[in-house]
Amino acid sequence: MSSGYTLAELKAHLGGEALGDTSRRYSGVASLEHADEHQISFLVSDKHLAAARASKAGALLVPAALAERISQPRLIVANPHAAFARAIGLYHPEPVAAPGIHPSASIAEGADIAVDAHIGAHAVIGERARIGPQSRIDAGCVIGPGVTIGANCRLHANVTLYAGCRIGDRVILHSGCVIGADGFGLAWEDDHWLKVPQVGSVVLEDDVEIGANTTVDRGALDDTVIERGAKLDNLIQVAHNVRIGAHTAIAACVGIAGSTRIGAYCQIGGAAMIIGHLEIADRVTISAGTFVGKSIREPGTYTSVQPFMAHADWKRNAAHLRHLDHMHERLKQLEKILSELERKSP
């Protein structure tokens, strides 16, 4: 952990305008609720203004619109949340792993590993695999034959990359994620399923981050592609031949079926389900738990979640749903009768 920063030093790193004592040193970062006088916090909107005024934080990162409404020393920045994220990085820099290959790692003939890369204990590096400068491969990772990994990547413990996957620069893969397993390709023949060989690959472009235990399947013929800057949470299933656009963010437990194309700058809430062969436009927001059963052609927010209710109420409503089509037909008949009566009335 850093020994601390003054407001003037934070300004040099984060930009903005400092107000109040700029020479006092702050030892860390914390939330508004738990910060003390030696720590900094941040304020995004007036919704948390009362909490900011009551906070014991020694200094705050604030937007210009709120700078005159608090008394603590403050750094005025355009985006306090982003500035705070960078401040956390200053106080808690990523540990630097020593370059080199652990004696217990297994390195195949023909693997090309940058001299300043780090290969952890019991990692397995396949034939013709290439690992770029300053990349870190932690303990127990399995890198298949022909995999390419760019510069400054971080693979946490027990990540698996199947053969031929291509990983860009500054990619982060968290523990347990599996990249390049076979897509779920099957053909029915007579009385059984025939496996369709999955001969495509997976491409993760620069600055992609993928959470723990998420799986990204290889393409059947073409590649599964996750474009630059996309962020995927834990426990997501990305099926074969999916394409996810640049800077799209997907929360935990989402399932994306095969050959669906998701645009750039989308946001997909947790546990959403997206069926295969769909097109989702750029800048679409899909609410948590939503089932997407057809393509979305226009930007906007889309939701299909039934609010929770008492179980007894749900049972009664579910019983009515079974009769919905019959009720619809009766309503059409009543509308027809009413229309006839209105036409005949003087």
What positions carry a catalytic annotation? 240
Judge whether 108 and 90 are in contact, CB under 8 Å: no
What per-residue string of b and e applies to 44-79 under the rule 16 or more CB within 10 Å gives b?
eeeebeeebeebebbbbbbbeebbeebebbbbbbee
Q: Identity (one letter) of the amino acid at 335? A: E
- Give the three-state DSSP class for 253: coil
Region of 91 please: left (phi>0), alpha (psi -120 to 50) or beta. Answer: alpha
Nearest 5°: phi and psi at 254?
A: -80, 145
Sign of the CA dihedral with 339 first, then 343, 344, and 346 last: positive
Q: Identity (one letter) of the amino acid at 268? A: I
| CA gap 346, 344 in Å, rounded | 6
Judge whether 68 and 52 are in contact, CB under 8 Å: no
C-alpha angle 329/333/335, rounded to 5°?
115
